[in-house]
Amino acid sequence: MLEIKHTLCPSCSVGCGINVVSEEGDVVGTYPYKRHPVNEGKNCLNGRNSIDIYKNRLESAIVSNSNVELDKAIDEVCNVIKSKDADKITVFCSGNNSVEDIEAIKAFAESNNFNIVLYADNFVDIDFDVASYEDIENASSLIVIGDILYTNPLIGRRIIHAKNNESNIYSFTPENSVTANVSSEIFDSIDDVLDNAQDKLDESSVILFNVIESSEQLDKIKEISEKTKSKILPVFSKCNSKGAMGVVKAQSKEELSELLNNTDALLVFNDDLIPEIDFDFDSISNIVSFTPCENSTSKASQIVVPIKSWLENDGSFVNAMGETQTFNAVIESDALGVDEVIEKIQEKL
C-alpha cells in the first residue's frame, strides 16, 4: 500500500515542500505538496531526484576501504582524535546539516577545543535583512547573478512572474543559459552588472545571487543596496546554509584553505567538500566522513561513518528568505543521527 508523507526538499535553500511516496517501508517516489506556500504544488527536477540520497545510502561503516561494524569505525575515529593535537583537528559542517545538527556539531567541537568551520558557497557575513520571494515578483528591476532559473527553478518562477509584470532584469549569466532567456540585458562579469545596472534600482528592486567570487563583491552588493534602498536575496546551494550561518561563522575559500593547511585530522559532517575547494586533500593525514551516501569526500576518507539521510531525520532548516521550517522523518531507520554519532564518540574520548 502506498503511503505519502510531507517533508522539505533538501536540494537548495528555497525551502520547497515535497511529498515522499513509500511502499511497504521503501521509498519509491515524490509528489509535489500542493498547499505548500513556497512552491505551490511545483517541484523541480532536483527536488524530484532528492530521494536518491536515501536510495543510495551506505549500508556499512568503512575503515581503510573495508566494511566494518559501526562500533569499530567509532573506535577508529576516537583513535584518530586521541592521536592528534586538538588545534590540528578541524570539524567541517555545512548547510546540509539541520539547525539542531549544527548546534550539536558546534558543541562537540568547542567542548574538545577543535577548530570548526562552515563553508556556504563563499558567502560570508550575511548579516542583513533579505528579500522575500514575493518581493521578487513585485520588483521594478532585478539584478540576477548566476543562472538562478536553472539551478533554483522555484525562485526562477518568481523571476518569470516579475518579467511578466514588466520588470527589467539585468544579469550576469552565461549567454545561452535559462536566465539569459528572460534577461533585459546580460553583462560580462559580476562587477560589470553591479557597476552598470545599479542606477536602474530603487526601493522596490531586488539583487539576487547564487554565486559570488569575493568578499569585496558582497560588500559592493551591500553598499548598492544601502544606496538605492533595494533588497538583497542570497540563494544558497544547500538547504540550511542560512540557518547554519546563524550558529557557526562562515568562512571564505581562502580562509578555509588556510585552516586546512594546518589540519592533521578533518572530520566532515554530511557534506562533499572536496569538489568545492581547490586544495590538496592528500596532505591531510586523516579524513573522516560522516555521510548518508558515498561521495567524493567519503571516497578519499580513511574512515566513513553512515548517518541518517534527511528522509530519516526530524529537525529544522532556515530557507533563503530567513523563514524557519520544520520537518519530520518520513521513513523509519536504524541509522544514527549526527547527534547520536557525536554522543558515541564523546563517550569514548
What length does the chain have? Answer: 349
For residue 324, what are the β-bridge partners?
318
Domain count of the fold of the chain: 2
CA–CA dist 265, 87 (Å, integer): 10
Would you say residue 34 lies in a domain?
Answer: no
For residue 52, what are the β-bridge partners?
none
Residues 246 and 116 both lie in one domain: yes
Look up the domain containing 221 and give its range.
133-234
State the pLDDT at residue 3: 86
CA–CA dist 138, 142 (Å, integer): 10
Is 61 in contact with 306 (CB distance < 8 Å)? yes
Residues 220 and 248 both lie in one domain: no
Share of the chain above pLDDT 90, in %: 79
* Straight-line distance from the first to the last Cα atom of the chain, in angstroms, rounded to the nearest whole number: 46
Out of 199, 215, 234, a domain closes at: 234
Residues 112 and 247 both lie in one domain: yes
CA–CA dist 44, 26 (Å, integer): 22
CA–CA dist 123, 173 (Å, integer): 18
Residues 73 and 204 both lie in one domain: no
**Three cell numbers written together for 331:** 521513513
CA–CA dist 32, 12 (Å, integer): 16
State the pLDDT at residue 226: 95
Residues 118 and 253 both lie in one domain: yes
Residues 148 and 230 both lie in one domain: yes
pLDDT single digits (tens) 159-215: 999 999 999 999 999 988 999 999 999 999 999 999 999 999 999 999 999 999 988
* Burial class of residue 333 (count of CB atoms within 10 Å of its CB; 0-12, 13-18, 19+): middle
State the pLDDT at residue 54: 80
Write the single-letter amino acid at 244.
A
pTM: 0.93
Phi, psi of 19 (to 5 degrees): -100, 135
Would you say residue 51 lies in a domain?
Answer: no
Residues 156 and 299 both lie in one domain: no
State the pLDDT at residue 198: 96
Is 291 in contact with 306 (CB distance < 8 Å)? yes
Each residue's pLDDT, cut to its tens digit, for the chain (349 residues) gives 788 888 888 989 999 988 888 888 888 888 888 888 887 878 888 888 888 888 888 999 999 999 999 999 999 999 999 999 999 999 999 999 999 999 999 999 999 999 999 999 999 988 888 999 999 999 999 999 999 999 999 999 999 999 999 999 999 999 889 999 999 999 999 999 999 999 999 999 999 999 999 889 999 999 999 999 999 999 999 999 999 999 999 999 999 999 999 999 999 999 999 999 999 999 999 999 999 999 999 999 999 999 999 899 999 999 999 999 999 998 888 899 999 999 999 999 9
H-type helices in the chain, by residue range? Answer: 45-48, 52-55, 70-82, 99-111, 133-137, 148-151, 153-164, 178-181, 190-197, 215-228, 241-245, 253-260, 296-299, 338-348
Out of 234, 251, 275, a domain closes at: 234
Q: What is the CA radius of gyration of the chain?
A: 21
Would you say residue 10 lies in a domain?
Answer: no
Would you say residue 16 lies in a domain?
Answer: no
Would you say residue 216 lies in a domain?
Answer: yes
Residues sharing a CB contact under 8 Å with residue 28, sequence separation 6 or more, in sequence order: 2, 21, 22
Residues 140 and 213 both lie in one domain: yes
Residues sharing a CB contact under 8 Å with residue 43, sequence separation 6 or more, in sequence order: 9, 16, 18, 30, 32, 154
State the pLDDT at residue 46: 85
Residues 189 and 262 both lie in one domain: no
Residues 190 and 282 both lie in one domain: no
* Secondary structure of residue 205 in the 3-state scheme: coil
CA–CA dist 205, 297 (Å, integer): 40
CA–CA dist 147, 180 (Å, integer): 8
CA dihedral 267, 268, 269, 271 (to 10 degrees): 180
Phi, psi of 99 (to 5 degrees): -55, -45
Residues 209 and 271 both lie in one domain: no
Out of 234, 253, 270, a domain closes at: 234
The CATH number for 215's domain is: 3.40.228.10
Residues 148 and 219 both lie in one domain: yes
Count Cα atoms within 13 angstroms, Cβ side, for 134.
1
Taking the alpha carbons of 220, 124, 50, 318 in that order, is the dihedral positive or negative?
negative
Would you say residue 223 lies in a domain?
Answer: yes
Would you say residue 84 lies in a domain?
Answer: yes
Would you say residue 185 lies in a domain?
Answer: yes
